[in-house]
Amino acid sequence: MVRLITHNLLACHVRGCTSNNFPLVFKDVQLQLKEAEYNPDFLRGFMPKLEWKALVDTAKSLNNQSLPDQAPEPQAANEEFLKILHHVLLEIHVEEGAMLCPNCSHVYPISNGIPNMLLQEHEL
Amino acid sequence: MGKRYLLHYAIAHPEFRFPELQSISELFDFNVGLPEEEEERDPNRHFLIVELEDEAHARTIAKRCILIRAVYELWATATTYGELHQEMRLNQDLWKPFSTETFCFDVTASNHKIPDARQKDIIEDFAYMAYTGDIRIKGATNVLTYLEEYPRKNIVRSKSEGDRNFQRAYFGRLIEKGGCRELVYKFDVKQRAYYGNTTMEAEMSLLMANQALAAPGKLIYDPFVGTGSMLYTAAHFGAMVLGSDIDGRQMRGKRLTTPGIIQSASQYGVAHRILDCCTFDITRNPFRTGGILDAIVSDPPYGVRAGAKRLGRAKERPTQVPPEGTEYTISYPRMPYELSELTIDLILLARHLLRPGGRLVWFLPTVTEEYQDVDIPDCEGMELVANSEQNFGKWGRRLITMRKASSDDFPYPSFNAATRHAELGGKGTPSATSGHKDFREKYFARFPSTKKIVKEGKPLG
């Protein structure tokens, strides 16, 4: 778990950390690839909500260069592109490691695929 | 004009019947014509006659409604046996087209057993239909069904007592057996690989998935995921699901390898639809943006078995900063989260996170005696769709379904006591004495009656 679709929705939420707090940077990760169900409608519906550059950069940081730098319009997206997007968003799982805030350097550890995004008292 | 169909219901959760039917018709985009007379819509009866434009809609209802046992195409219905046959003779157009296909008869009753001898007579009384197709006990194309509805009796009696004194009789062709009654057994908590002490029962979690309009291509989130009950059923109907909880131990379970939620999801074959489970507090949540979810489904902790908590300190004291150089102290201060505050925050968060038209479905526990309709916070941009009570006597819980009725973007909620009510922007503010305020305290005080206090006090005037 911690798929890139979820990663694309999560920003650092430490108090006062409001700029440059997204995307979180993966660190010391262990990856797993798991097959997921392909649903083009789901992908098209979700595309407008994605931060594309963050997704491309994060995928690259996990050694996946398959995404184009510019996203096509959801309705113009062809099958070939959607299959790639499907793989990147839903089939790459970060099982162990951490996510690091590029701004305040808060570390969100991931264990058994579940990220711990709780904050400590001084961060609330 | 459509045809009449007979819906045979299981008598469970009467208040959930119409909301569910409405949700399924909305999800699959068709109309359901309901009877006009109040008595014909009584949700405590086994049968409901509806009008549908297409047989496919009847099949959808049978496949997707949790509370349905079977759906029939209705050929005749009457309060007396003679009238039923009269109507049958008038409605030849309905049943003639099937006369050459294979068929069998099913004679049955609700709250009653028709004696075997009379069952045979009943079948023979339909001889005028003159069906020429082969009779097949198993695998017949058409199952012609005669049903008698008897009033419910709460006394011990022989199964056939009061025979023929039925309320109403129905005759029709079986369209489809309800497909979801079996799911109640499939999702039985006792058979589940991983569950906890506050895991939602199977039938209710299925009903919640229906209220959330769970379907392929949707993204559904549970902010108090616990052991994941709501995720499995929503995922079963094809939705992608996300969960979060302030307490990660509930999601992980005892074993340190595969999280408990994934173990159960694998048992149901839906692990690939569990997008992620994250540990965080909804009042300090890391969502980057709103407008992303199709539904939020949740059973928030109401403080009896699982106390609601949020990050923070209940009592003011100097904030402790970890000494320089230490990275983790793994101490997350928690403070109680009062239910009426949590309720408002949940609605405000839903308004921010949902897409236009998205739904919020959650359980609100209330003290039966104190409950008033105004207890459901009135929130600008959110519209109440359904409010169904499951009554446990002195208290109950209400399944509330709300819809984001606005296409505006709403801000991230403040989660702050001072501004919470103002953010709702509704016409009325919830009363301070709502039937769910301080629910925990009232529960453990065994729900002292407020009416009694008035009675024992000074007589008015």
Give the separation between CA B219 and CA B241, rounded to whole angstroms. 6
Please name the residue of chain B whose CA is at the shortest distance from the CA of residue A40: B217
CB B287 to CB A6 under 8 A? Answer: no
Give the separation between CA A101 and CA B16, rounded to whole angstroms. 45
Q: How many CA atoms lie within 13 A of B217 on its CB side?
A: 9
Taking contacts as CB-CB distances below 8 angstroms, the residues of chain A near B319 are: 121-122
* Confidence at residue B454, expressed as pLDDT on a 0 to 100 scale: 41
* Confidence at residue B459, expressed as pLDDT on a 0 to 100 scale: 41
| Three-state SS at A65 | coil
For chain A, report the end-to-end CA distance as a whole number of angstroms. 26
Q: Are the folds of B3-179 and B188-320+329-444 the same?
A: no
Give the separation between CA B204 and CA B15, rounded to whole angstroms. 12
Topology classification of domain B188-320+329-444: Rossmann fold (3.40.50)
Domains of chain B, by residue range, sit at 3-179, 188-320+329-444
Tokens 């702050």 belong to residue: B416
Q: Computed from CA positions of residues B200, B203, B204, B207, in that sequence, does the dihedral angle turn out positive or negative? A: positive
Distance (Å) from the alpha carbon of A33 to chain B's nearest alpha carbon: 11
Mutate to test the interface with A, among B225, B263, B284 (most CBs of A within 10 A): B284
Domain count along chain A? 1
* Confidence at residue B366, expressed as pLDDT on a 0 to 100 scale: 83
Give the separation between CA B28 and CA B329, rounded to whole angstroms. 51
Give the separation between CA B342 and CA B336, rounded to whole angstroms. 10
Residues 6+ positions from B146 with CB-CB distance below 8 Å: B105, B106, B107, B108, B122, B123, B126, B169, B170, B171
Is there a cis peptide before residue A23, judged by omega within 30 degrees of 0?
Answer: yes
Run means of pLDDT, 10 residues per run, chain B, 461 residues: 91 91 96 91 92 96 95 96 96 94 94 91 94 92 95 75 90 93 90 87 94 96 93 96 90 82 92 93 91 94 72 71 60 80 91 95 86 80 92 87 92 85 70 70 75 44 38
CB contact, 8 Å: A33 with chain B?
Answer: no
Least CB-CB distance to B332: which of A5, A41, A120? A120
CB contact, 8 Å: A3 with chain B?
Answer: yes
* Confidence at residue B82, expressed as pLDDT on a 0 to 100 scale: 95
CB contact, 8 Å: A38 with chain B?
Answer: no
Taking contacts as CB-CB distances below 8 angstroms, the residues of chain A near B321 are: 122
Tokens 């349905």 belong to residue: B68
Among 3.30.1490.190, 3.40.50.300, 3.30.2130.30, 3.40.1000.10, what is the CATH number of B3-179? 3.30.2130.30
Report CA-CA distances (Å) from A65 to A56, A59, A72, A85, A92: 8, 7, 17, 11, 13
Short-list B13, B226, B12, B199, CA closest to B191: B199
pLDDT in tens, A82-114: 999 999 999 999 999 999 999 999 999 998 999
For chain B, report the end-to-end CA distance as a whole number of angstroms. 60
DSSP conformation class of A72: P
CB contact, 8 Å: A76 with chain B?
Answer: no
CB A10 to CB B288 under 8 A? Answer: yes
CB A116 to CB B279 under 8 A? Answer: yes
Taking contacts as CB-CB distances below 8 angstroms, the residues of chain A near B312 are: 124
Report CA-CA distances (Å) from B200 to A39, B95, B345: 29, 44, 22
* Residue A118 lies in domain: 4-123
Residues 6+ positions from B36 with CB-CB distance below 8 Å: none
Least CB-CB distance to A49: which of B275, B281, B289? B289
Task: Determine contact, residues B44/B11, Cβ cutoff 8 Å.
Answer: yes
CB atoms within 10 A of CB B108: 14
Distance (Å) from the alpha carbon of B292 to chain A's nearest alpha carbon: 7
CB A116 to CB B275 under 8 A? Answer: no
- Going across the sheet that includes B382-391, the strands are B274-279, B240-245, B219-222, B293-298, B354-367, B395-404, B382-391
Give the separation between CA B357 and CA B46, rounded to whole angstroms. 32
Least CB-CB distance to A118: which of B240, B281, B287? B281
Please name the residue of chain A whose CA is at the shortest distance from the CA of residue B274: A1
Give the separation between CA B119 and CA B125, rounded to whole angstroms. 10
Task: Determine contact, residues B365/B442, Cβ cutoff 8 Å.
Answer: no
Mutate to test the interface with A, among B288, B326, B407 (most CBs of A within 10 A): B288
CB B278 to CB A114 under 8 A? Answer: yes
Distance (Å) from the alpha carbon of B190 to chain A's nearest alpha carbon: 25
* Confidence at residue B451, expressed as pLDDT on a 0 to 100 scale: 55
Q: Assign 3-class secondary structure to chain B.
A: CCEEEEEEECCCCHHHHHHHHHHHHHHCCCCCECCCCHHHHCCCCCEEEEEECCHHHHHHHHHHCCCEEEEEEEEEEECCHHHHHHHHHHCHHHHHHHCCCCEEEEEEEECCCCCHHHHHHHHHHCHHHCCCCCECCCCCCEEEEEEEECCCCCCCCCCCCCCCCCCEEEEEEEEEECCCHHHHHHCCHHHCCCCCCCCCCHHHHHHHHHHCCCCCCCEEEECCCCCCHHHHHHHHCCCEEEEEECCHHHHHCCCCCCCHHHHHHHHCCCHHHEEEEEECCHHHCCECCCCCEEEEEECCCCCCCCCCEEECCCCCCCCCCCCCCCCCCCCCCEEECCHHHHHHHHHHHHHHHEEEEEEEEEEEEEECCCCCHHHCCCECCEEEEEEEEEECCCEEEEEEEEEECCCCCCCCCCCCCCCHHHHHECCCCCCCCCCCCCHHHHHHCCCCCHHHHHHHCCCCC
* Confidence at residue B162, expressed as pLDDT on a 0 to 100 scale: 84
Q: Please state the φ and ψ torsions of residue A104, each to the nearest 5 degrees.
A: -100, 0
CB A118 to CB B287 under 8 A? Answer: no
Q: Please state the φ and ψ torsions of residue B304, each to the nearest 5 degrees.
A: -90, -60
CB A22 to CB B217 under 8 A? Answer: no
Taking contacts as CB-CB distances below 8 angstroms, the residues of chain A near B322 are: 120, 122
Taking contacts as CB-CB distances below 8 angstroms, the residues of chain A near B328 are: 107, 109
Give the separation between CA B272 and CA A90, rounded to whole angstroms. 9
Residues 6+ positions from B408 with CB-CB distance below 8 Å: B381
CB B279 to CB A114 under 8 A? Answer: yes
Least CB-CB distance to A114: which of B251, B289, B328? B251
Q: Computed from CA positions of residues B117, B119, B121, B124, in that sequence, does the dihedral angle turn out positive or negative? A: negative
CB A122 to CB B319 under 8 A? Answer: yes
Residues 6+ positions from B161 with CB-CB distance below 8 Å: none
Distance (Å) from the alpha carbon of A84 to chain B's nearest alpha carbon: 17
Tokens matching residue B53? 């434009």
Cα Rg of chain A (Å, integer): 15
* Confidence at residue B216, expressed as pLDDT on a 0 to 100 scale: 95
CB B258 to CB A112 under 8 A? Answer: yes
DSSP conformation class of A24: P
Distance (Å) from the alpha carbon of B257 to chain A's nearest alpha carbon: 6
Short-list B68, B63, B62, CA closest to B16: B68
Give the separation between CA B215 and CA B233, rounded to whole angstroms. 11
Least CB-CB distance to A120: which of B258, B279, B329? B329
pLDDT tens digits in sequence order for chain A, 124 residues long: 899 999 999 999 998 888 899 999 999 999 999 999 999 999 999 999 999 999 999 999 999 999 999 999 988 889 999 999 999 999 999 999 999 999 999 999 998 999 999 988 777 7
Domain containing A10 — which CATH number?
Answer: 2.20.25.10
CB B248 to CB A116 under 8 A? Answer: yes
ipTM: 0.94
* Confidence at residue B161, expressed as pLDDT on a 0 to 100 scale: 80
Distance (Å) from the alpha carbon of B245 to chain A's nearest alpha carbon: 10
CB B331 to CB A45 under 8 A? Answer: no
